[in-house]
Amino acid sequence: MTVLCVDFGSTFTKVGWVDADQAELRATVAVPTTLESDVLDGLATCCDLLRRQGCRVDGAEVLASSSAGGGLRIAVIGNERLVTSEAGSRVSLSSGGHVVEVISGGLDASGVGRLAAATPDLLLLVGGTDGGNAETLLRSAQTIAAAHLQLPVVVAGNAAAAAEVSELLSSVEHLIAANVVPEIGVFAPDDARRRVRQLFLTHVIGGKHLSRSAEFAQMVRGATPDVVLRGVETIAANGVAVAVVDVGGATTDVHSVLQVDAAEGAPEAGLSREVVAPSRASRTVEGDLGVRWSAPATLSHGQAEGLLTAADRTLLDMWVSTLSPSRLPHTAAERAADAVLATIAVAGALRRHSGRSEALLIAGRRVLHRSGVDLREVELLIGSGGVLRADPTAGVRLVSDALARAQGTGRMLPERPRVAVDGDYLLSPIGLLAEQNPAVAAALAASFGT
């Protein structure tokens, strides 16, 4: 049996040809994503390229992920910024979404205006522990219905109010999920994550009009970041704490999956342990760190955070000023400049994803305070993205250099990880196969030596 694992990206469409019988990725090809015509045109070109390599494409099962057309845009509506709204943001990110708006304190007329400006694909409505205060949740549901926003809604708040919320949203496409914060000190994202994925597949994919064919919606299994995180979770299932940093043209994403003991060790994202428990799986998206569209912001970040040497600045000034989204480096100097730009993006993204350990003076006593994701025990750090995949050996050096530059800021960064690069573009196929063929997914995951 053979499987085509497809990622319809915002810039490139990548296809991996998997021999499921042998549990091997045999070939990978990529072409620019054909947004101007039909995304399946790019897939057809990839299939032609694979046939020329002798791959048995016809009759193969097709599993796909997509971030084309802007991916999955989510707006979160919650009670308090540092409790349910933050928990909702974490659910959105782990579901593969880009959080475009967070509204705390419930939804009112001004919030409706903010939602219209943010143009989300769906709303995540959260708020209240089970059996607790439901007033804000109900008011928000009433406002959503009255505003006629024409957006699907996932409700993951106070379970005691779920039936009433569902009645208020009777004219709106919505799904009810289990509460993401059922009680103080608990974070339960899994059911909400499944519901977000369900609406992405049934509503968002078709709504973006990326293809005239119904085949596209039938083959897509989730948003690309969601699928990649599932791939990381599959690698971590072997008892290894894993972090992945994925460098793109516009954003740099970091996915981490810790083991249970590490995940329970500290509060996350500045939240008190008594309010929301930390999550084992986390994802952050740095929209100002990238190597093409976001290159000027990446350069500014490197200067502001002390991540650049004088030699780096000389290399980057000309390169960044002449970059376009499709430009590739051709000379040794251009390749060196591109590598430095990627190094800054990786270092900055790892810093932001990791938590902080700092000494605070409380009531006259020095107390060690920890907040955020503790990456210190990460055993495997994987670099991903075209700039690293072009030369995996150089990519390993780049990620190692970025990690070294990121140190010394009180951040709980990986201390002694083994560094690898996803040179064969395995993470997405692993995630796509994880539910349908877990044995093949696990075999592919073992390619990283876990």
Alpha-carbon span 42 to 423, nearest angstrom: 21
What is the reported pLDDT for 278?
A: 60
Residues in CB range of 86: below 8 A, 6 or more apart: 78, 269, 271, 276
Instruction: Outline which parts of the chain fall under CATH 3.30.420.40.
Output: 2-69+207-221
Nearest to residue 291, comparing CAs of 310, 254, 255, 319?
319
Tens-digit pLDDT profile for residues 344-381? 999 999 999 998 866 655 556 665 556 678 999 999 99
Q: Does domain 72-206 fall into CATH 3.40.50.300?
A: no
Instruction: Outline which parts of the chain fall under CATH 3.40.50.280.
Output: 72-206
Residue 398 is given by DSSP the state H
Residues in CB range of 345: below 8 A, 6 or more apart: 247, 252, 286, 289, 290, 291, 294, 298
| pTM reported for the whole predicted model | 0.83
What is the reported pLDDT for 153?
A: 97
What's domain 2-69+207-221's superfamily in CATH?
ATPase, nucleotide binding domain (3.30.420.40)
User: Does residue 274 register a pLDDT over 70?
Assistant: no
Mean pLDDT value of segment 221-229: 92
Q: What is the CATH number of domain 223-425+437-448?
A: 3.30.420
User: Does residue 277 register a pLDDT over 70?
Assistant: no
What is the reported pLDDT for 360?
A: 58
Lowest-pLDDT range of 232-241, 259-268, 286-295, 309-318: 259-268
